[in-house]
Amino acid sequence: MTAEMRARVLDNPFYVLELAPECSRAEVERAGQKLLAMLELDMAGARHYPTPFGVGRRDAAKVREATAELRDPQRRLLHELWVSGCAAIDLAEDTSDENEAESLGFERAPTSLGWRR
């Protein structure tokens, strides 16, 4: 998948600010301010955030952008849809595993045929 798509999933403003989809506008502002201050002080844990797909990397620009996105109700609604959906991530687990198993390669083939050590 393209980097833009991965970023759209991993850099959802709710993940960046570590907020629940039902949070209030005041909570958004508070989380934004708090994270900017933590980044300024270079505090432990400020540089990374958890997502259902792995750990994301946080910086001040990303926090400002996330706060701006959640201030706009129209944009927020769209991000909410994705985040609330990803709470049911277990369902997606099965299909991906199945797909990986189907496309499993034999990495030692070049060694077996004498092309690599």
Residues that bind another protein (CB under 8 A): 1-2, 5-6, 8-10, 52-54, 73-74, 76-78, 80-82, 84-89, 91-93, 95-96, 99-100, 102-117
Q: Which is nearer to another protein, 68 or 78 (CB)?
A: 78
Q: Which is nearer to another protein, 40 or 110 (CB)?
A: 110
Amino acid of residue 39: L
Q: Which residues pair with 49 in a beta bridge?
A: 56
User: Which helix (H) or strand (E) covers residue 56, if one does?
Assistant: strand 54-57
Q: Which is nearer to another protein, 26 or 106 (CB)?
A: 106
Is residue 56 left, alpha or beta, with left meaning phi > 0 and alpha meaning psi from -120 to 50? beta
Smallest separation (angstroms) from another protein to the CB of 44: 26
